[in-house]
Amino acid sequence: MNLILLRPEELAPDGTARLTGRRAAHAREVLGARRGEVLRAGVLGGLLGEATVLSSTRDELVLQLSLTQAPPPRPGIDLLLAIPRPKALKKILPAAASLGVDKIVLVNAARVEKSYFDSKVLDRGFLDELLALGLEQARDTRPPEVLVRERFRPFAEDELDRTFGPSRRLAAHPQAHRALEALPAREPVRTVLAVGPEGGWVPFELELLAKVGFEPFTAGPRPLRVEVAVPYLLGRLERSQPLC
């Protein structure tokens, strides 16, 4: 944990906050937080800064906050992801949050198991905790917006343009013929990265994506698991995006 991330409702009017549970235990046992120690802190959706430990007990930490810094700039990337296995999704969501993704749409696809949509990973509390882990790692306070869509075609035809707006749209696909670097250059705009299931999008899905402006590309000759492919591709795109 590189950042103590607080929810707005945890802040008292006097600028203090009481920390319990996982975060307090980590601060005490890993960061060695004692009275007078200064920790990095931030408020979800807000500013970053410092938290001075006023008191530390077995049950809670009391912090005095001084938050004056803006969160780090973002690369202007959104993610359209065919929902993967729950174990993989638990790795992808913190990674995407730590890399500054603004919006994640989890969508159905032909090669997706329908049971994945019943996973507890999609419960709001569980999902928010995974995003918080990524923000704590990256010292950020702004989580991605996460949408879940169980019908691929209606989303692609009726919602996708409205959801992502003007953007460069790229679809990773194992059988694509061009590498990312070989795609035509575009003016700096937001980018939407579409990543399908392991095995890739089926032809029908690629056709729908092409109709709404997605260009297929290959990540290379090595087949990658989705939980590896997503952070790998986000990292490559981030290096080519203007920060905002």
Q: Which of 45, 69, 93 is the last residue of a domain?
A: 69
Residues 135-151 have pLDDT tens digits of 999 999 999 999 999 99
Quick one: 211 and 175 in the same domain? yes
Q: What is the dihedral of CA 182, 225, 75, 211, to 10 degrees?
A: 60
CA distance 156 to 169: 13
Quick one: 100 and 166 in the same domain? yes
Task: Give the position of tokens 């670097």.
Answer: 181
pLDDT confidence band for 174 (50 / 70 / 90): confident
Quick one: 53 and 152 in the same domain? no
Quick one: 38 and 81 in the same domain? no
pLDDT confidence band for 240 (50 / 70 / 90): low
The yes-or-no verdict on residue 244 having pLDDT over 60 is: no
Kindly report the average pLDDT of the chain as a whole number.
92
Nearest alpha-carbon partner for 160 in 178, 174, 147, 175: 147
- Which amino acid, one-letter code, is at 189? V
Q: Which of 53, 69, 85 is the last residue of a domain?
A: 69
pLDDT, position 178 = 82
Spatial neighbors of 49 by CB under 8 A, at least 6 apart, are: 40, 41, 42, 65, 66, 67, 68, 69
Quick one: 143 and 223 in the same domain? yes
Residues 50-88 have pLDDT tens digits of 999 999 988 899 999 999 999 999 999 999 999 999 999
With contact defined as beta carbons under 8 Å apart, do 230 and 79 qualify?
A: yes
Quick one: 145 and 37 in the same domain? no
Name residue 149's beta-bridge partners. 107
pLDDT, position 87 = 96
pTM of the full predicted structure? Answer: 0.92
Quick one: 64 and 82 in the same domain? no
- Which amino acid, one-letter code, is at 152? F
Name residue 69's beta-bridge partners. 48
